[in-house]
Every structure is written in C-alpha cells, then in structure tokens.
Structure 1
Amino acid sequence: MHRETILFLLVVMGNSLMTAALDPKPTEQANLSQRPVLQPKETVPVTGNYVLKDPAGMPCIKVSMGVEYIVIEKKKSSYFNLDPTTTKTTGLCDEKEAVLSLAFLGEGGNLDLTFEKEGNLTYVSKITVNLAPGKGIKIYRGVIEHEKLFPTAAGRSFKCYSQTEFHLSENLRVKIVPLQFQAFKLTNGKFGEEVECRADFIKKIIPIILGATVVGLFLIAVLSFLIIRDRRRHAGYDRI
C-alpha cells in the first residue's frame, strides 16, 4: 500500500506539472486579454487627457484627444479605439525636443508624438504607431517623420474639433478627433491661447460665405426687378 500510495502521488504531481507547463501564466493570460481587439464597425473614440511631466515635476506636454486606429486588409477596414483607462503615459522632456508615448496594456501597441521647438515655434515632427491586435501574430507599423505638423507659437495650444487622419502605411491609418495639445511651455499645467485648425476655420467661414452669397443674389434680384419695372414705366410714357 505504501508503494502504491507513492506511485499515485507521483502521477498526480506529474499531471500538475504538465498542466502548468502547457497553460499560460496568469500574467501572460492578462496580457493577451488586454490586447487590442479589432471591431468591424466604426465608433466615436473616447477623449483622453494625457500629461507628461519633466524631472522637476512640471508638465511639459499636455494632450487631449480621441484616437481611432484603422486597419485595412484586403480592402476591408477594421477599427480599434484607444482606451484612456488602459493607456500608460511615458516619454521624455528636453529643452528642444519632447516625446509623448502612449502604450497599451498587454504590449498591444503604442502611439508616439515627437514635438520640436525651433525658436518661438513648436510643432509635431514625428508620429510613430504600432498595433498588435489579438494574439499579436501580425503587428501593424507606421511612421510619419521630418514634418512640421500643427505649428504654433510657444505658450499657445493647437486645437481642432474636425477629424485629422494620418495614412501611416498601406495597412494602417490613425484618426484623431477632437485634438488639443501644447508642449514645452504650459502655465500652471493649463492650455494656453488656442490656435484654430484650418479645417475648423473653413467649417466656420463656409456658412458665412453662403449666407453672404444668398443675400447678394437676393439684392441683385430685387435691383433687377426694380430696374426692369422702371424701364417699362418709361417705355409706356413714350407710347402715350
């Protein structure tokens, strides 16, 4: 009986070790479950507020935005919205360069914005994106660099309610809406005077132009009517 008991315990222990070896560790399971899941339909992304501080504890980058990833495979689009509650903010703050890095939990990807300062001008010079949906078998990557995107004067913030879409690679696009950010110089951690994006300006000015055009056409029609009526009156007097 003693020998049988020992054999039984060895068998149980062996099965337990085999199960532990085959099953993913709890941390690995958590990472897989937190990775991005692509959706077939597009939805409005949640606006997140992200702040990066320098070594002295002062904010050097502040960003408010909603981010949507668009993956294109075989002419079919799939979507993933950045969740601010599961996003980690890291980066670096330098005198002339600052980088905001937003990483997804579960090593599912990241979004990096590189800001540069040139004299009194600040702008985004580089956007780097990685996305590893599901089990991360395929990773989508894209980058835009050597640019001067969203230029603003130091101490001012860039703001845009209209959507901004970036084509980072053949299979990956990123849509940002709405957007407001400022780098290098923030007063008490707050956004400075806003610089309106061109798209918002055009949306605002088009109704004014259309309204002025309608009023102008109406006035032309009234004047034309009055001129024609006046000529007819004069023509009638000549016949008499």
Structure 2
Amino acid sequence: MNAQTYRWPPVLLAALIPCVLLQRTDGSLSEAHIYQPILNPNESVPSQGSYAVKNYNGSLCVTVVTGVEYIITENKINWYFNLDPSGVKVNGYCGKDVADISLTLPGDAASLQFNFKKKFNKFYVSQLNAHLSPQPLCKGCINKTYSGQITSEMLFLTPVCETFKSRSGFLLSVSPAMKIKLVPLQMKAFILSDREYGLECLKESKKIIAMVMGAVVMTLIFIVMLSFLFIRDRRRQGYERM
C-alpha cells in the first residue's frame, strides 16, 4: 500500500503557525498577522457608527449611535485609537429588565460593552466594560492589553419612552491608563412596541399633564388668596383713616 502524503491547507497553517507566509492569487506572498489596533499620537474625530440589538421576535431592543475613541496613557503621554464602525461585530442580549450590547473588533482586539437595566420605567447603563490590545508602542516593546470598567448605579438615566442624547458626548475613565470618549452619543434601551408605547408613554404623559395642571391650579389659588389679603388690608387702612 502506498503511503499517502497529507498537505495542510494554507489557511489552517496560518492559524496554527505565527507569521506563516500565504500565497496570493497573483503569486506574491503575504504574511499572516493577528489584527492589532495601531495607536496614534494625534487625536482625531471618530467615525460615527449605528449599532443595534434585536429581541427574539426581531424587534429592536437596544440602539446606540456614537463615535468611539480609546485614549491610552503611557508615561504621561496620550495615545489614541478610533473604533472603525465597518469592522465592528455587534452582539447582545435583550431581557425584560436587563439588556446588553457589545461592540467587538476581529480577534477581540478591542471591545466595548454596555449593560443596561430598567427600573421604574427608566433605563440606564449599570456597567460599561472596555478593552484594547494594540500593537506595541515601539520596536521591542512588550504587548499590552488595556482594560477597565465603570460600575454605576444609574449612568445615562432616561425614561423608557425617550432617547438619551448628547451632542457634546462623554469622556469616561475606565482605568488609570484608559479613557473612552463617546461623541456624539445617542442610545435607547428596552424599545417599546407601538402598543406598549401607547399604554406606557401616553399614560406617563397624562400623569405629567395632570401634575402640571395641578401646579397651575395651586398657583392660581395662591394668587387669588394673596389678592384677597391685599384688598382686605387696603380696605382696613381706608376705614382707619376715616
């Protein structure tokens, strides 16, 4: 029986052996590398991306529209990396009172996760996680992964009937060595269906209208009482002069 020779597929070799050379269709060679973001010494405006997570029935549950910039501090010097929306993979989960959305680059080179909670018909970010594994800052420098999180009781607190919006954005410190800039920022979680919106949001609007009307009535009563007291005092002063 003749011995068979097995050949490993080039793509598999690239996955198993670092820096393996792959042959392009034009005959030239390219070197396979793990994707690593490149830090830039100069800051620039990040491209705005629109990200969404749907629930089990295909309806939108979470939407985030923002530009993401990672700011890394090494030896008191800032370095910058902007998240490219075209390379982002979106994952998430939608529950009744909890939800999350994760933005991830290939090879988990960078990620940003928002954890949402709902309480008393308001949503907020309860936790934000971020990490970045960039190329070393210099030749011979070691690889570093920067990570951090913010745990907040009610970050970006917003009624479920509304959308959180900030044109100026936010700068969030997730660790001593890393900050996340979100600019501009627009997000909405636990998105209601048309029927739910009618039941919840119109009910909330009626409550607000009732509160406003009550405040107006109380103000009018207060004005009438002040006017009555003022007129009574004027009449009393007139009687005393007579």
Q: TM-score range by the shorter chain?
A: 0.5 to 0.7
The superposition leaves residues 122-165 of structure 1 with CA deviations (integer Å, 9 ceiling, x where unpaired) of 11111000100127921101100133111111121000001310
Work out the CA distance in 2 between the residues paired with 1:61 and 1:84.
17
Q: Counterpart amino acid of 2:185?
A: L
Q: Counterpart amino acid of 1:184?
A: F
Structure with higher helix content: 1
Deviation at 1:50, TM superposition (A): 0.2
Deviation at 1:24, TM superposition (A): 3.2
Q: How does 1:2-21 map to 2 (within 5 A)?
A: none
Give the CA RMSD over aligned residues.
2.7
Q: Percent of aligned pairs with the same residue?
A: 36
Task: Name the CA shift for 1:96/1:133 in 2 (closer, same or farther; >3 Å).
Answer: same
Q: How does 1:1-240 map to 2 (within 5 A)?
A: 23-24=19-20, 32=34, 34-134=35-135, 137-187=143-193
Task: Name the CA shift for 1:155/1:30 in 2 (closer, same or farther; >3 Å).
Answer: farther
Task: Name the CA shift for 1:36/1:156 in 2 (closer, same or farther; >3 Å).
Answer: same
Work out the CA distance in 1 between the residues paired with 2:17 and 2:116.
46
Aligned partner of residue 86 in structure 2, secondary structure: helix
Deviation at 1:186, TM superposition (A): 4.3
How many residue pairs get aligned? The number is 171
The superposition leaves residues 174-218 of structure 1 with CA deviations (integer Å, 9 ceiling, x where unpaired) of 011001010002457xxxx9xxxxxxxxxxxxxxxxxxxxxxxxx
The answer to whether the 8 Å contact 2:19/2:33 transfers is no
Aligned partner of residue 58 in structure 2, secondary structure: coil
The answer to whether the 8 Å contact 2:20/2:32 transfers is no
Work out the CA distance in 2 between the residues paired with 1:155 and 1:101.
23
Task: Name the CA shift for 1:159/1:56 in 2 (closer, same or farther; >3 Å).
Answer: same
The answer to whether the 8 Å contact 2:125/2:152 transfers is no
Task: Name the CA shift for 1:23/1:31 in 2 (closer, same or farther; >3 Å).
Answer: closer
Work out the CA distance in 2 between the residues paired with 1:65 and 1:30.
32
Deviation at 1:21, TM superposition (A): 5.2
Q: Which runs of 4+ in 1 moved over 4 A?
A: 18-22
The answer to whether the 8 Å contact 2:129/2:150 transfers is yes
Work out the CA distance in 2 between the residues paired with 1:170 and 1:70.
11
Q: Counterpart amino acid of 2:149?
A: V
Work out the CA distance in 2 between the residues paired with 1:63 and 1:22.
36
Aligned partner of residue 37 in structure 1, secondary structure: coil
**Structure 1 residue ranges without an equivalent (≥5):** 1-12, 194-240
Task: Name the CA shift for 1:100/1:151 in 2 (closer, same or farther; >3 Å).
Answer: same
